[in-house]
Structure 1
């Protein structure tokens, strides 16, 4: 990582490899999701490690993650990881042994030794060996979406402090996203940002309260998945009074990705460079946010239909 100055803030370029909704998918030499993986500093998995929350599925995902080379690997569960949501799973199956075993897999010393940090609702600060320091908030929750795990009622504002306006009727948040974070990682998308979930423009499944929190905290980046059809990236520029301007980032076509995979025989990832070395660097923290829906599969029931081999993101982060 190369350190450089941006305004009065010292920064360094950090490489993130972001994926979501792999549903127990394993790297396969016959697909674009294959090893060798790109070199990166931080691996992020934004949930749906499995399809049914079985130990076998988790072990498949954990095996390749352990072998993945990155200084830090941040992992959160998603709505399909039902055994990692004990309150939910206890309602459908009385199996405390399975719940404990699932949690142990992701929090074991073997996982930690492989640089895997498993988080649910949490705020953590990480410092990389190159000096980059960044504050992360994570959440596996999303508005009720069928009968899956980590759901909350659409009337619940999980992400913001108690409303101050008398016109707001939402249930107050139980885990407000704090100010000052650099990276937000959630399983679900915010309302209106890479959350298209159907064939008409009205079919958006993002959370209005998460969007409200995004406007409030304005992180450098927001990584998520959950809505497979919403795969893509959006740059959000923040104006005064919460106004925002959205600009879509066009992903490569499948033809381009297959050409890349054929040429390199490596994982064909979508590369987004918003560092100072890129053609269009990201604005300062609070001015612009890069939002990425990194859902890997077109359909969780069709593991061969891979949309992209991950999203590789270069961005600037502050140096301590």
Structure 2
């Protein structure tokens, strides 16, 4: 049975600009849904996400979403999940998400969270990319070497991320399809198209 996954990322407060999104079984946002990290922005995004006409809605947080650091979100339905170093299984497919927060990067917790991603993960959702994969900007690879090693061990069917706006794209290496879904086009303040993937 095929599962259709709609990948969004790095909408930076412009989520309500999205119209006529394609049909899918699961919509996944891989972080940076706010621009300034305020609670009002996060609440508006979560309300918008909950109202979308998809059976399942998953999201993790990016470095811009700092109001969500160590936050809990109450009142979500059973079909909406914040993936905060946590996972959920949908129709036999195991999703797991790791957010990206500056304090965790500064004290080494981020690398530990990445090293602890479960081996049986089918769809990995992170904000930052693995090192060397759709992570290059300004003559620098911004991805995580720890995350790359763990992805090579896990071999998920999909790895969904964002963070590096200049590397919006998709590629396949080995058994894994990698999707950088960063939608904000910084040169024109427009949004790239959401990406529909199937597994």
Tell me if both proteins adopt one fold, taking TM over 0.5 as the criterion.
Answer: yes
Q: Which runs of 5+ in 1 are unaligned?
A: 1-11, 87-98, 128-132, 143-147, 161-172, 238-287, 316-320
The alignment covers a number of residue pairs equal to 199
1:207 to 2:144 alignment: yes
Give 1:305 shift. Answer: 1.9
The answer on 1:290 being equivalent to 2:174 is no
Which residue of structure 2 lines up, in the alignment, with residue 138 of structure 1?
A: 97
Contact 2:105 2:111 in 1 (8 A): no
How far residue 83 of structure 1 moved from its aligned partner, in angstroms, is 1.4
Which residue does 1:244 correspond to in 2? none
Q: In structure 2, how many angstroms separate the alpha carbons of the residues matched to 1:122 and 1:155?
A: 15
Q: Pick from 168, 188, 194 the counterpart of residue 310 of structure 1.
A: 194
Q: CA RMSD in A?
A: 2.3
Contact 2:97 2:125 in 1 (8 A): yes
SS at match of 2:77: helix
* 1:14 maps onto 2:3 in alignment: yes
Extract structure 1 runs of 4+ deviating beyond 3 A.
152-157
Distance of 1:63 and 1:189 partners within structure 2: 27
- 1:126 is aligned to 90
Partner of 2:105: 151
Distance 1:80 1:232 in 2: 21
How far the C-alpha of 1:154 sits from its partner, in A, is 7.1
Which runs of structure 2 are paired with 1:93-104 in the superposition (5 Å)?
103=72
TM-score by length of 2: 0.89
Instruction: Give the Cα–Cα distance (whole angstroms) in 2 for the partners of residues 220 and 138 of structure 1.
Output: 14
Q: 1:53 to 1:290 in 2, by over 3 A?
A: same
Query: CA 1:227/1:153 → structure 2, altered by over 3 Å: closer, same or farther?
Result: farther
Per-residue CA deviation, residues 123-180 of structure 1 (Å, 9 max, x unaligned), is 33222xxxxx1112210137xxxxx4542457974257xxxxxxxxxxxx5xx11212
In 1, the alpha carbon distance for the partners of 2:87 and 2:43 equals 26
Tell me the residue number matched to 2:154.
217
Please state how far the C-alpha of 1:53 moved relative to its aligned partner.
2.0
